[in-house]
Structure 1
């Protein structure tokens, strides 16, 4: 905004002076004519325009703009034909100073002429009569306006009470509805006062002969200024907090409303009422001087308020900056440090522009400022509504979360990202329209070109594609989770398979969506995707030949998954490794063995898969007894041990009764009896260990011998078959052996 205004100041054009010449009316008073003529002759641009006009009226040749430009260029020295930036600034400052001097000099001269000439007495009387009519119109209009405002407090209070009720989620929607309703009521008050003022103006014109033009100027100014104040009340309503769009404290809102209302009222009524009257009764230069005076007073008032509130606003901005991170925090901190400089620069730029272009600068600046505020307000309001409706975090129902465990986290991940993208888009749109409002960039002219329309269309198409791709990803991933998400009713093996397939399908779906989205977006922005697709095919073929092992890994992995051979949590034997499956990918499986070692086995090296935890398992036990033991008696104790096992901690892991296969072998030193226990998958080892313990305890209690290896000592024999003597020494140090030796000696 400041750069725009600075450029407006530096781009001073002689056409403005020419417009002033054409707009200057001829006065009946000689003093006014002389003043106007003197002002025109003092300004080089006005003097040249007057000369051209006189020549045209006399039928002489008139210099064209190009000739004038050529003449002025040739008349200049070569060193000054191309002015530097510093010289331009200096000339602009000098023109501003001389313009202010001429304007105020003309104003003081015209005012002095009113009090020093004989004609001034009649003009003063006419001015007094006009002032009386205007005062009557002002009194009636504003009295009706204030009275109707008092009557409107009751509807405002009812609307405010309604807006304060209801859920917090829809607070901004209720606030917008309440502000709109209050704005309609306030608009009715302003229009009613305007209509009554219009009726009063008609009566004054009919009975007192008042100038209808002056009265219409006042009423139009009242309608415009009070309309702007109405918008300010919608932003800074001090009495009713629910009718205030901006989240400010009551004291702050009251202060802001009073400040902006005073500024708008003083500037609006001064420029739209007083300046036209002065232009008509005195001279255009006097009106320009009055415009400069009004703008200068408003700028001084604005600067005083800015400097007075510099520290308070800085602290508020720093407090808000602490609540954010990243770029927003940096921007708020910079704005907190330099906001007052920006505001003062804006005031200075407005003042200088009004001095250089008193007739065109102020309407342009006012319109551009209002448009900028409107764009920013609409964008901020839109984002606030979206944030309040959606919220920072979405909580889904518990039943849906159980079926789709990743949906809530996924939605809460995409929504903040979407809000950031939307905020960036809104900020971009606001910046573009703001530049258009300040005539820096003509958006509509650029959009009419083929490049502009194509760029906007491509941008909208890309955003729509991204939104559709995100929505499709959320819906498809949620459907996959719904179909494969394990629940309490399925078996552990089915749950493991669902978890494995869920990761596989989710990764494949993400790759497909990303590739398709990128291809479509490239096509939308004008990139030919045909060569890309052909190149990708050739590259895929080359990669396929060069990475056959990788392709084999992927293909084997797909078929292994389709056959449901391996799931996460299974205990398997693949290749030369055995362990619990921790991860099943597209090309490899990760195992952790009993020693805690982590193995990654490529599917290409897997020739067979041995899964120990599929559907059910068996504990295969063979228990040997001595040849002298009764086999049926031993089987009874095996069944007794099983019954005790079923009553213990593993009762839920045993699926069927004990299966006694019978005698499996007559071994060298034992008779082996085989039994089978059907268990839940993966529990066969724990059940077997517990059953072995109980079998040993039952056999010991029944006195059933469990054979163990015996050693026979052979001392050899000679050719006659006689064994050599075995020399045995008895250790008498041990009391047990000594007692045994004494007993044998006695016998």
Structure 2
């Protein structure tokens, strides 16, 4: 409250002006006087308002209010008129000081006493600042050590080291400010001026020093220019130095001008001059702020866009790009609002703006620190122990796949809360009243309930999926699970995922307030309609269920389904995926499966039929087959795959050009083909060693006929060469040409025109 109003109110009867001065100089009595005046003003305002309501007719209350444009024009005209009157009064008072006009100045103004008080105040200021500078210099080694620890400490979370280091540095800074404030008060009380009495001028300066230096200490927390490890904002040293200097100058100009110069001028010189000084300080500060904003408009836009390019979230990139384009308009609007509010109501505007600004900066810094902390704690790649990774090999990738989504959700939550709290600090919204209301309380309870449900659902899925993975892993101590176990566990995992997602969705809807009864009934009707319209799908599912109950096949089995033979790679409740020998992947619905031929149940047989020529001894051939089996059964690769001795069925056919002997080898399931390939190789080798002929099919040669039915003559020659080396040098003898006529008929092998190509 300005003291000019106190001058216009006469004191109590018989009280001299010296008594009023003593009341104003004493802090306790001055505060009591202010409280009494405020109470009287409030009572007078309430009475005036009540009288006005009784006097104004009802029709005037219902009259149309002025438009927003007219209100803005009136406010602007009022500010301009007030500024003109203040500067006109400032000129008059300044002129009166030089001509010694007592009417324009306070009647008790004494220039000599004013100069003496100014000198004493200057000494207090110098002593306080020198002490504060010395304390800061003594604290510099400690700041350097804290900065080095913050940047190069051994802790795994750098942001925690940064916060701890900044907090300790801020504590040291606040202690230095407190010591300088205390020492300045002692010097002003016992050394300078009247001993044992703290003057009003000294008290005003010390209070302003405490407030302003605490604000500057907060600036040093954000823009520490000398110590990189004690700077909360992620900017370089030159940028920090520039903005720290700019904000410190602005705070010092407004703070000392409003908290020291204006009250001193009001007390010692003139209330009109004090009000004019206050306005002049705010005008200079506003112009200075506007010039700095316009000067750094492009440079800061580029810096913000560079941060947007580094961001990995689309929402953050969009927000930063938008901020880079409009940041200067926001800053100009902020300083313009502060300037206008200060001119209209300085007693209420300055505290409100200061508190709201401090809250805004604190919330922004806290949001940045929380986001950085979350990124550094859970944003890193999660590493599990070797034992846990061995037992649950898919747990680590699954957890790491959830990290980006969790980071996005937490960052959005942090930003949303920061924005709401900033709006609440500026009284745009009232979060306390909204939360205490019925709608706000219900909404918050629903949001918390849905978040808890989603968290529990995610944890249940991770636990159950990890348990299934534990059962499927052969290195967990229970050994390799069976194919049926693998198939059933995989089907159970898929069914669990669908069931858990459906239940979570329905419970979340019920918590929000949506009645899920009609949804369940509609789902039943829809299921019935789908059942009638998609009978093939229902048949697939039912057949698949019975196939799994009967354990007809499992993943990895070699089966024949629908005329396709291959390995079953994937089984679902509706279909099976088969990879055939050529690598083609087939999806076969269970409704088209009539027969399942599984080659992987219990054991397998290699059934081989081996042909020998008619002139060979059958017993010798069987003996060679047995020898080949003995070598196969003794080999390292196959001895564990053969389950029984060789079964010789004997001669099963007297074919056209061969005698067929059948044998059978019992093997482990799935190895009958490998056993057969290895056994065929050995049979070929043993038959060659025993000179047992393996015949191959004979061919009938046909040379065709002409139109008259006569076949052309075939000129056949048989070249004989002696094995004797001497005769090998003689000219080759040939037989006479032999003419053979072949007719096109269906005679048997006794036909005379047939020629064996052997």
Q: What's the TM-score bracket when you normalise by the shorter of the two chains?
A: 0.7 to 0.9
* Residue 154 (structure 1) aligns with: 141
CA RMSD of aligned residues (A): 4.0
Deviation larger for 600-609 or 366-375:
600-609
Specify the SS of the correspondent of 1:412.
helix
1:629 and 2:612 matched: no
Residues 391 and 476 in structure 2, CA contact (< 8 A), matched pair in contact too: no
Q: Distance between the aligned counterparts of 2:396 and 2:55, measured in 1?
A: 73
* Residue 314 (structure 2) aligns with: 326
1:458 and 2:441 matched: no
Deviation at 1:405, TM superposition (A): 3.5
* Residue 397 (structure 2) aligns with: 409
* Residue 160 (structure 2) aligns with: 173
Deviations 1:209-247 (A, max 9, x none): 866444333222222111111111122222222222222
Aligned counterpart in structure 2 of residue 196 of structure 1, from 168, 183, 194: 183
Aligned counterpart in structure 2 of residue 93 of structure 1, from 76, 79, 82: 76
1:390 and 2:373 matched: no
Specify the SS of the correspondent of 1:64.
helix
Deviation at 1:284, TM superposition (A): 4.8
Residues 130 and 211 in structure 1, CA contact (< 8 A), matched pair in contact too: no
Q: Distance between the aligned counterparts of 1:136 and 1:21, measured in 2?
A: 28
Deviation at 1:421, TM superposition (A): 0.7
Deviation at 1:627, TM superposition (A): 5.6
Q: Distance between the aligned counterparts of 1:581 and 1:664, measured in 2?
A: 37
Deviations 1:60-112 (A, max 9, x none): 998634357769959x9x8xx44333333322221221121122223333333
Q: Distance between the aligned counterparts of 2:667 and 2:67, measured in 1?
A: 95
Runs (5+) with no aligned partner, structure 2: 18-39, 701-709, 721-732, 739-758
Residues 606 and 672 in structure 2, CA contact (< 8 A), matched pair in contact too: yes
Inter-CA distance 326–338: structure 2 relative to 1 (3 Å threshold): same
Specify the SS of the correspondent of 2:110.
helix
Residues 609 and 661 in structure 2, CA contact (< 8 A), matched pair in contact too: yes
Q: Distance between the aligned counterparts of 1:411 and 1:502, measured in 2?
A: 21
Specify the SS of the correspondent of 2:152.
coil
* Residue 94 (structure 2) aligns with: 111
Aligned counterpart in structure 1 of residue 465 of structure 2, from 477, 480, 496: 477
Q: Distance between the aligned counterparts of 1:497 and 1:100, measured in 2?
A: 90
Inter-CA distance 61–332: structure 2 relative to 1 (3 Å threshold): closer
1:565 and 2:545 matched: no
1:289 and 2:304 matched: no
* Residue 504 (structure 2) aligns with: 517
Inter-CA distance 200–530: structure 2 relative to 1 (3 Å threshold): farther
Inter-CA distance 633–379: structure 2 relative to 1 (3 Å threshold): same
Specify the SS of the correspondent of 2:292.
helix
* Residue 42 (structure 1) aligns with: none
TM-score, normalised by the number of residues in structure 2: 0.80
Inter-CA distance 626–513: structure 2 relative to 1 (3 Å threshold): same
Deviation at 1:544, TM superposition (A): 4.5
* Residue 663 (structure 2) aligns with: 675
Deviation at 1:256, TM superposition (A): 2.1
Deviation at 1:468, TM superposition (A): 2.2
Deviations 1:331-370 (A, max 9, x none): 2223223322322232222222222222222221111111
1:302 and 2:289 matched: yes
Inter-CA distance 164–568: structure 2 relative to 1 (3 Å threshold): same
Q: Distance between the aligned counterparts of 1:624 and 1:209, measured in 2?
A: 130
* Residue 703 (structure 2) aligns with: none
1:734 and 2:698 matched: no
Inter-CA distance 279–497: structure 2 relative to 1 (3 Å threshold): farther
The structure whose RCO (Cα within 8 Å, separation 6+) is larger is: 1
* Residue 527 (structure 1) aligns with: 514
Specify the SS of the correspondent of 2:576.
strand
* Residue 44 (structure 1) aligns with: none
Deviation at 1:190, TM superposition (A): 1.3
Runs (5+) with no aligned partner, structure 1: 1-15, 31-52, 713-726
Specify the SS of the correspondent of 2:88.
helix
Aligned counterpart in structure 1 of residue 110 of structure 2, from 116, 123, 131: 123
* Residue 229 (structure 2) aligns with: 242
Q: Distance between the aligned counterparts of 1:399 and 1:286, measured in 2?
A: 80
Aligned counterpart in structure 1 of residue 172 of structure 2, from 176, 180, 185: 185
Q: Distance between the aligned counterparts of 1:478 and 1:464, measured in 2?
A: 21
Deviation larger for 640-649 or 283-292:
640-649
Aligned counterpart in structure 2 of residue 449 of structure 1, from 433, 437, 440: 437
1:233 and 2:227 matched: no
Deviation at 1:649, TM superposition (A): 10
1:378 and 2:341 matched: no
Aligned counterpart in structure 1 of residue 127 of structure 2, from 122, 140, 144: 140
Specify the SS of the correspondent of 2:427.
coil
